[in-house]
Amino acid sequence: MLLVIIAFVAGLVYGYVNPGKENRWALFKKGIMLGVVLGLILGFLSLLIGGLILSAATAIGTLISIIKLTIVFIIGTFIGDLLERIIK
- The per-residue pLDDT for range 34-50, each reduced to its tens digit, is 888 888 888 888 878 87
Please report the pLDDT score of residue 57 as a whole number: 80
15 or 58, higher pLDDT: 15
Ramachandran region of residue 20, left (φ > 0), alpha (ψ -120 to 50) or beta?
left
State whether residue 20 is helix, strand or coil.
coil
Looking at residue 66, its amino acid is: I
Please report the pLDDT score of residue 72 as a whole number: 93
pTM of the shown model: 0.81
**Could you count the other beta carbons within 10 Å of the beta carbon of residue 50?**
12
Q: How far apart are CA 31 and CA 69, in angstroms?
A: 8
Parent domain of 8: 2-87
State whether residue 23 is helix, strand or coil.
coil
The answer on pLDDT for 9 being more than 90 is: yes
53 or 68, higher pLDDT: 68
